[in-house]
Chains A and B, each alone.
Chain A
């Protein structure tokens, strides 16, 4: 039930963000987050943005995983 899906903010309105989930658009409330801008990726749970995703951290995580691969090959 804690499922929350990443989506891309494609528009901002007075009462929330328009978020695209692979092309499907849904409105999401922004009361619980600050500083969300267009083009940001966010995670949405039951109609609310609960977190902005951090691209730098995501890339670093992938680099760490690739590093695990290098140790073996």
Chain B
């Protein structure tokens, strides 16, 4: 068992495709909320294996894409402070704030470092005791426990020059916002596998109980996604609504309790602004009061300034599944991966970037 090739078997993919076609009777819109799923669906041509009744929509599951301009602006401000290094994941570099991106700031001489792991930021701080290192923490529940573990490690090492600018977000409140707004018809949700490896299936139960929306926690290989779609179709056709786990090799109902404990020790939930979704209650993570001295927002003077999203950019509608990228007037015209206007075109897991790369053309029923 290598956990990759086994889940890419073409014959089994065809069998699942046939099974979905056999079970599917009525039109269903299924939303995947994780950018890694969106990328896998396009890379493996999953839509082409589905009957015309099944429509796949992309949701707000790209952390880079949902980061508010105002938060990018804070990182930009920090990066320009003397004696300060801002470190973050490579994905964040080109995301536009109101006044440019971190990549542009770096080109102008600001101290910006790309890291693969938050531990690299810790090592950076260890190696430069006379500078302040701020980690710009972006990501969902998959990523935030790593940041928590890094801070605990930094504390045990007695490091005094590492700080966190946390814009971490939580997936369940975003799902609640999507299904309760009823702006888009969602007949089933493909839930994020690696967020769920951490939080388990418990926090999603409201989807089935309160909103009667079928939901399946899915892995990322083609067979995983096809099997999850099959399970969603079976639920919907059987008038059922429950939260099922397809990705059982990595996800248990209780999740990774050690990681959740670590997360809760360091962070607490706060109301947070999401690009495209607005202010959502208890949807962001900030450091607890005990960790105040590590918190960049309390340790640095960050004046609030008015932030603006790029004019005409429709990333918000795309993140909510209301519009497809091709329905945005900027798509593939003034907004391309080389010259992105909005964040969905920046990240390799952004919906616009994926549609651009895989050249999605209108299909048999006119959808793109």
Q: Do A and B bind each other?
A: yes
Binary contact track B247-261/A, C-beta < 8 Å → 1, others 0: 011100000101100
Which of under 10, 10 to 19, 20 to 34, or 35 or more describes the interface residues of B?
Answer: 35 or more
Q: How far is the CB of B115 from chain A (nearest CB, A)?
A: 9
Asked if B249 contacts A54 (CB within 8 A), the reply is yes
Pairs A-B, 5 closest by C-beta atoms: A47-B117, A69-B15, A58-B249, A6-B3, A57-B248
Spell out B's residues near A (CB within 8 Å): 1-4, 6-7, 11-12, 15-16, 18-19, 22, 34-36, 61-64, 89, 91, 116-120, 138-140, 142-143, 145-146, 149, 152-153, 192-195, 197-198, 220, 223-224, 227, 230, 246, 248-250, 256, 258-259, 262, 347, 349
Asked if B143 contacts A2 (CB within 8 A), the reply is yes
Asked if B194 contacts A2 (CB within 8 A), the reply is yes
Asked if A54 contacts B248 (CB within 8 A), the reply is yes
Asked if B91 contacts A1 (CB within 8 A), the reply is yes
Chain A residues whose CB sits within 8 angstroms of the CB of B248 once the complex forms: 54, 57-58, 60-61
Question: When chains A and B are docked, how far (Å) is the Cα of A55 from the Cα of B3?
Answer: 9
Asked if B116 contacts A33 (CB within 8 A), the reply is no
Question: When chains A and B are docked, how far (Å) is the Cα of A16 from the Cα of B193?
Answer: 24
Spell out A's residues near B (CB within 8 Å): 1-4, 6, 29, 31-34, 41, 43, 45-48, 50-51, 53-55, 57-62, 64-66, 68-69, 71-73
Asked if B139 contacts A68 (CB within 8 A), the reply is no
25 contacts between A and B (CB under 8 A): A1-B36, A3-B36, A4-B197, A6-B3, A6-B4, A29-B149, A32-B146, A46-B116, A46-B118, A47-B118, A47-B120, A48-B146, A50-B142, A51-B250, A53-B3, A54-B250, A58-B1, A61-B246, A61-B249, A65-B16, A65-B223, A65-B227, A66-B12, A66-B15, A68-B227
Question: When chains A and B are docked, how far (Å) is the Cα of A4 from the Cα of B36?
Answer: 9
Asked if A55 contacts B146 (CB within 8 A), the reply is no
Chain A residues whose CB sits within 8 angstroms of the CB of B223 once the complex forms: 62, 65
Asked if B143 contacts A46 (CB within 8 A), the reply is yes
Interface of chain B, main secondary structure: helix
Nearest-CB residue, chain B, relative to A1: B63
Q: A1-B89, A2-B195, A66-B12 are in contact. Are A32 and B149 (CB under 8 A)?
A: yes
Q: A31-B262, A72-B22 are in contact. Are A50 and B117 (CB under 8 A)?
A: no
Asked if B250 contacts A47 (CB within 8 A), the reply is no
Chain B residues whose CB sits within 8 angstroms of the CB of A45 once the complex forms: 142-143, 146, 194
Chain A residues whose CB sits within 8 angstroms of the CB of B230 once the complex forms: 68
Q: A2-B139, A41-B3 are in contact. Are A32 and B195 (CB under 8 A)?
A: no
